Amino acid sequence: MRAGASYAWVRDRFLDPGVDLSVHVNHYDIDEVLAFVRDRGFRAEALIDRRTGGQPEDVIGYPHHWTFLVADRI
């Protein structure tokens, strides 16, 4: 799990060779997301991805952090 937010518009070097394509690679602050969900009447928790153990994984040449959000209506 990564703290803080980051937003990037990056080149995707793996789609359609010879074509200049870009994509958003965003990471949302988990505390902000949890607060948003809880403020709307849910009990919420963030779970660390077991496969990666919370470590970043390289996807299209950029680090991705996988976190699961579990929410139940109160």
d(CA 2, CA 28): 9
Q: Classify residue 60: in a domain, yes or no.
A: yes
What is the residue range of 31's domain?
Answer: 6-73
Taking only the tens place, the pLDDT of each residue in 14-59 is: 888 888 889 898 889 999 999 999 999 999 999 999 999 989 999 8
CB 45 within 8 A of CB 70: yes
Q: Can you name the residues that pair with 8 across neighbouring β-strands?
A: 25
pLDDT band for position 2 (cuts 50, 70, 90): low
Q: Classify residue 1: in a domain, yes or no.
A: no
Q: Classify residue 38: in a domain, yes or no.
A: yes
pTM equals: 0.73
Q: Classify residue 10: in a domain, yes or no.
A: yes
Q: Classify residue 69: in a domain, yes or no.
A: yes
Q: Which residues contact 25 (CB under 8 A, 6 or more apart)?
A: 8, 10, 60, 62, 64
The count of domains in the chain is 1
Q: Classify residue 19: in a domain, yes or no.
A: yes
Mean pLDDT, all residues of the chain: 90
Q: Classify residue 24: in a domain, yes or no.
A: yes
Which candidate, 58, 40, 17, places its Cα nearest to that of 69? 40
Q: Classify residue 37: in a domain, yes or no.
A: yes
Residue type, 45: E
